[in-house]
Every structure is written in structure tokens, then in C-alpha cells.
Chains A and B, each alone.
Chain A
């Protein structure tokens, strides 16, 4: 799932450098979700997951980028987004994916909650180098 882009133009890259950028990321994902024809509930789930992951990249990763675009596989269309940061990485992924566990002051729902809200979820992290999370929500 490193390069999920199969439809249309290359994905746009959006910075996540300050909290105001989260509003922009949510708008970008909303537009893609509507273009893809996701149901209202699925749009809401995807935008919410994107908001959680973008905030993680900002707060825990010290900022990063979001790449987002439309994808297609097995005759289905979907929206994919990759959240990357070059922060400290996650030393214990199992722990980080547990509901309620947080290394900061959050609720500990960001990663585990975001995973439940999307169809595909892939996390790769290297301690000291950064974290990348790829998500896809498919149209039904």
C-alpha cells in the first residue's frame, strides 16, 4: 500500500504544520469523499479518521504532510490518504494501537479509533525517523 494512487491526477500534498491546517485537511478529504461517491456516514467516518491522524502527525510527529487522492481496485473506487511525519516514531505499535493508551495528553483514541473508521489501515514507523499511516475508505 505504498503507492495506492490509481485514478486521476497525482495526489496533492498538504502540509500539517499548525493546527489551522487540520481544517484544510478535513476540507480536502471531504471534497474527495464526495467526488468518490461515499455515503454520508462513510464520508463522516473518513473525515473524522483523517482529522485524528493529521492531529497525531502534528502533535506527536511535530508536523508532517498529508497526501490524498482517489484510488481504484477490483472495480471499486475509494479515497486514500497518507499521513507522514518525521517525528520520534512509535516504539511500541501494539501499545499505541490500544484504546485509551496515549503518550501525550490525548484520549488515546486517535490511532485505534481511526483504524475502526476506515476500511484499510497501514502503519509503518521507524523509531527516530518518523511515522506513516495509510488509510483507504472504499465506496460501497
Chain B
């Protein structure tokens, strides 16, 4: 555990001796092997590691998309390990935002409508939805592209729309899975700068999987997975860089 003891406040999320096992008996594979991790509010964490190291599995569990085989996952101090699919869907709806490598926007749907999507499931009335989606698009600098469909936007712009969609619900935590993986490095840097800015200005916690050290440098803490275990967990002096 890497607790600095700086606060009595409950951590934003906490993994306690978490394991995820696929297969049975001899074919057992430990995707995650007794992983413990604590994330505080406002952290920007890069999760690194080779493929098959368990980082994606960890992200899926942290994102309440998957459940661990054993151990506990505490989100905002509450154990969410045993929740069913619908309860996890509600956690995602109200507390989590996702950014994917492939953007995952709805095709043939405008940028604004894409950003509105999570608010629809929150049951927000249409007017308020529109205002909040516009606000989120403005934060990512795409207020002028609200009526464009994903196919009419560049990769970088599509990822900005996805970020707007992730932040529109004002979630506590953003989970980003290789957010720059499909972008050239210049575009990738823009996205990272946007995430850093949102982390700094909006107080958003960000957990980002990446295999690019350049991108991981933007984070203030880097957690590295190898063989289902956390190999290293170091806090960077970000502002000196």
C-alpha cells in the first residue's frame, strides 16, 4: 500500500487483494493476482505494462464492467464487489466516465447527441441535457462542431467528443483506455494536455492505461503491471518535468 497518510478522507477507490482468475483447475490463469491499489481524489494515474499484464482486466474491474474473482473493490468507501449488472450500470452512469482507444462514438449521431447520451440515461430533461452537453463540448474546444457527425470529424476531434461525453455527467473518475492509441503524437499530446487540464481545473481523477512512456509522463503517478501483479507504483514530480 502506498499510503502517504496525508488525509483522513476515504480514498476514492481502493482495491484490496483483488484477483481475477480465468479458466479452472490446471487451465487457471491469474489475470490479476492479489492486487491492492489505492487512488485518491484528484490523482492522474498512468497504468502501464505489457499486453497480458492484467492492466486491461484491472481497468474493466475499476470501470465496473467486470467483477473480480476474489478480493474487494471499494469505490468512494463503499464495497461494490458484489453488485449485480444493473447496480454496476448505475455506478457507471453516475460516477464514472470512459474514454476508449477507438473513441466509440455512435456513428450517424451528432457530436452533441453523443455527448448527451449519458444524460439521457440519467433522465435529464432535453433542455438541460442540451445545455450541459454544449458546456462539455465547449470545455474540449468543440463548441463549433456540435452538429458534426463522427465521420465528419478528425480523430483528435472525435476523441475530444468522447472526452466531453465522459465529463458531461461530472463523474468522480475518468477511465481512459489508451486514449492516444489511435492518434498521431501531436494529436495525442493535445488530448493529454486536455486531460491534464481537466484533471487540474475540474478536479477530475483520471486513470489511464497507456503503453507509451511519453504519454505516461503526463500523469503524476505511474503504476506498472507485470504478470497480473503491480510491479512498480511511483509518484512523479510532475511539475518539475
A binds B: no
Which residues of B approach A to under 8 Å, CB–CB? Answer: none
